[in-house]
DNA sequence: CCTCTGATTTAAACCGCTTTGGCCGATACC
DNA sequence: GGTATCGGCCAAAGCGGTTTAAATCAGAGG
């Protein structure tokens, strides 16, 4: 059942039927009723492909996920971010297009999406401190929102980000207030911007208390349980081991906990741990009471905000870039306590 | 730059240019060369929207992810499955459309995708034992591949699945061979088909050795660390605690491990653990040596296979349903050992 | 030299919708 | 009564490709 057939059945022109369905005013109320009823009765849905060609809009948003050819690690926050963004798209009648491309082909893939007219805008993920995607997209004139900022990119663009620096600043300060002096940092890969900012926050807190930074207490790598375990184990084996850890993810924190317990120590008593909690649906930080003390910010919410921001941008491409900096809550769990007395 | 403009520049008709670019034979070789060169030079990409309307094919595949309104849990295997499937789509020039819908609206969303002509086929996830989506899709005539089978649905359809029953059968047998007598099952939600089959395998192994099943040793719930921890803790607190666990996921296994260690026991010595390892990229079972003894099957591979199967099905909708049953490897890690002597 | 054939190329229809511009009849206004 | 206005509806022209049917051209054959 297409528009023409429906119009024929109603003894009306396709024009009028189209107008009625799209809510244009120049249709008689009675006629509109009749059309709406018929459309429902015949279960009519306008053909998406035709709408897109006719309107010139794709009614779709792209998410390009680079898959690092070497690491092959899919971003674990992916699913929840997508869930958040997807809700917004669905509500607004947009489709979500996912491209999985090798990171070498990523720039090319934006060109393609734009030239093919497959999407009206994109969201970029896993932003690096110096990310050339931003320049590429600006030049391309393809509306986009970045999940995360790029520190070394000084161009106007829209982003949604968490205040990673302040989150780790506060986390570290909190530990310092508990009299911890040696605090280990278990961070993500620091070419990624969020990780860089977290380290800045950590260092800022230390230097505010005139505590020298110790490279042996700073780890950067994948945000996996295994990496967290290794990093924490190594640090705990130091002559002067840390009495606390700041971990960049739930998984790192779980690894740290395992390392702590493997040494016969008790988390929260002998060694404190604070994690960054993205509130991933399948990795909850406890059900009722939080297990880990954590800086918490919902990645799903970030997805919703980014999606909405992008749709606004698409609706009015000339509008000024929007920004949204989310603050992470510091929530108290059972993984932190005063530094043990020596 | 569109087809007409390109044709104008070449002093050719759009028809010829279109033919040349699409590899039709009735174009002079020299002309074709000229066209291809010009297309490359002008960076021409045919407009996806127009192609779709003209050919009647969407050149897109849909993945509908139901988000349970209550649990809100995104499937953790999501990201890796998508990564696998996405590679195949990209290679074949297909787009991947993701719909995130509340599970109540899921059936409706398939209707929509079909009626709107937005996709040529779909892949369904998180299959329930009695899943009405299969019937719906068959009636709709929308090609689909199911990731997982539906036990109580007796209709012909295409699927990719792991031999969950045999995986758990083998895992349980392995533990029985190590003289474990009381083996706890930490399973996923058993309305999901894969979980049901895993329990069948577990029970089959027990009954083959004439070991009575004990409801107190069977847990079913979310595949989270927390749930795994609770389940294992509860079982370990029994008067006759299990000496081994079979866990349905890496996360459950990690929870079990925590429960074991919380009681001052050692995994692999006092209590054995086998997990099902989906080889999720961000949840590796160890880097070099596996931590957990595991039944292993790559969810990413499943994604690739399912995607390829769907594309085949779309290319020839009349073809018979295809099936692919993957066997999980049983790999030896450090989490299992002989049952402790009492 | 004319016709036929096969190789190339083209004109035009079409995919299903939106949208511009126009038409028609009725009401308002002078 | 004549005309400007307006509500309501329609014809037709796109949107940018693909595809069918037909035209053109060159060489072969008679």
Mean of per-residue pLDDT scores for chain B = 94
- A307 CA: distance to closest CA in chain B (Å): 13
Pair B156, B321: CB distance under 8 Å: yes
Inform me whether the pLDDT recorded for B288 exceeds 90.
no
- B37 CA: distance to closest CA in chain A (Å): 18
Instruction: Please name every residue paired with A96 in a beta bridge, in sequence order, or none if there are none.
Output: A61, B98
Tell me what pLDDT residue B102 has: 83
Nucleotide with C1' nearest the A15 CA: D10
pLDDT in tens, B135-166: 999 999 999 999 999 999 999 999 999 999 99
Inform me whether the pLDDT recorded for A168 exceeds 70.
yes
Inform me whether the pLDDT recorded for B8 exceeds 70.
yes
Kindly indicate the confidence band of residue B331, based on its pLDDT and cuts at 50, 70 and 90. Answer: very high
> Taken in order B49, B51, B56, B57, is the CA torsion positive or negative?
negative
Pair A243, A339: CB distance under 8 Å: yes
Percent of all residues in chain A with a pLDDT value above 70, rounded to a whole number: 98
Residue of least CA–C1' distance to C7:
B26
Tell me what pLDDT residue B24 has: 93
Tell me what pLDDT residue A69 has: 59
Residue B53 approaches strand D within 7 Å at CB? yes
Inform me whether the pLDDT recorded for A281 exceeds 90.
no
Q: Which two tokens stand for residue A305?
A: 């905000």
Which segments within B117-223 are labelled E, that is strand?
121-124, 144-147, 158-162, 183-187, 218-220
Mean pLDDT of B285-294: 91
What radius of gyration do chain A's Cα atoms show?
Answer: 25
Mutate to test the interface with A, among B43, B47, B100 (most CBs of A within 10 A): B100
- A26 CA: distance to closest CA in chain B (Å): 26
A10 CA → D2 C1’, Å: 37
Inform me whether the pLDDT recorded for B72 exceeds 70.
no
Q: Which two tokens stand for residue B197?
A: 């089959």
Tell me what pLDDT residue A312 has: 96
Tell me what pLDDT residue A335 has: 97
Inform me whether the pLDDT recorded for B335 exceeds 90.
yes
Long-range pairs of B86-90 with CB within 8 A, sequence gap ≥ 24? B86/A65, B86/A98, B86/A99, B86/A100, B86/B303, B86/B307, B87/A67, B87/A100, B87/B304, B87/B307, B88/B303, B88/B304, B88/B307, B88/B308, B88/B311, B89/A100, B89/B61, B89/B307, B89/B311, B90/A99, B90/A100, B90/A101
A207 CA → C13 C1’, Å: 75
Mean pLDDT of B185-212: 97
pLDDT in tens, A24-54: 998 999 999 999 999 999 999 999 999 999 9
Q: What is the pTM of this model?
A: 0.93
Inform me whether the pLDDT recorded for B53 exceeds 80.
yes
d(CA B118, CA B108): 14
pLDDT in tens, A63-93: 988 776 555 566 788 889 999 999 999 999 9
Tell me what pLDDT residue B342 has: 72
User: Which residues of A spanning 42-81 put their CB closer than 7 angstroms to strand D?
Assistant: 53-54, 56
Contacts of strand C, CB cut-off 7 Å?
Answer: A 2-4, 14-15, 18-19, 21-22, 46-47, 49-51, 53-55; B 11-16, 19, 26-29, 31, 53-54, 56
* Backbone torsions φ then ψ of B297, nearest 5 degrees: -155, 130
Pair B293, B336: CB distance under 8 Å: yes
CB-CB: which of A47, A99, A251 is closest to B86?
A99
pLDDT in tens, A232-242: 999 999 999 99
Report the chain A residue with the minimal C-alpha distance to residue B59: A49
Mean of per-residue pLDDT scores for chain A = 94
Inform me whether the pLDDT recorded for B223 exceeds 70.
yes
Mean pLDDT of A136-163: 96
């Amino acid at each position: 059942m297409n528009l023409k057939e429906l119009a024929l059945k109603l003894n009306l022109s396709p024009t009028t039927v189209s107008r009625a369905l799209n809510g244009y005013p120049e249709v008689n109320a009675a006629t509109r009723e009749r059309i709406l009823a018929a459309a429902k009765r015949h279960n009519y849905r306008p053909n998406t492909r035709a709408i897109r060609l006719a309107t010139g809009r794709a009614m779709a948003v792209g998410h390009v996920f680079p898959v690092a050819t070497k690491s092959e690690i899919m971003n674990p926050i992916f699913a929840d971010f997508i869930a958040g963004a997807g809700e917004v798209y669905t509500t607004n009648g947009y489709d979500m297009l996912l491209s999985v491309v090798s990171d070498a082909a990523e720039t090319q893939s934006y060109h393609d999406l734009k030239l093919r007219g497959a999407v009206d805008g994109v969201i970029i993920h896993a932003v690096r401190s110096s990310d050339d995607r931003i320049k590429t997209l600006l030049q391309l004139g393809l509306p986009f929102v970045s999940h995360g900022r790029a520190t070394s990119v000084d161009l106007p663009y829209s982003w949604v980000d968490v205040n990673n620096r302040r989150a780790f600043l506060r986390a570290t300060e909190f530990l310092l207030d508990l009299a911890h002096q040696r605090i280990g940092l278990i961070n993500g890969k620091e070419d990624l911007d969020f990780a860089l900012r977290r380290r800045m926050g950590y260092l800022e807190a230390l230097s505010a208390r005139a505590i020298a930074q110790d490279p042996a207490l700073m780890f950067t790598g994948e945000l996996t349980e295994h990496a967290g375990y290794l990093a924490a184990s190594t640090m705990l084996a130091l002559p002067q081991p840390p009495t606390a850890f700041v971990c960049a993810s739930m998984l790192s924190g779980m690894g740290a906990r395992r390392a702590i317990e493997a040494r016969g120590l008790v988390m929260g008593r002998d060694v404190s741990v604070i994690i960054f909690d993205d509130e991933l649906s399948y990795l909850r930080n406890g059900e009722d009471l939080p297990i880990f003390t954590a800086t918490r910010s919902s990645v799903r919410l970030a997805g919703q905000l980014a999606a909405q921001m992008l749709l606004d941008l698409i609706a009015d491409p000339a509008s000024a870039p929007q920004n949204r900096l989310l603050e992470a809550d510091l929530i108290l769990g059972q993984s932190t306590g005063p530094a043990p007395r020596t």
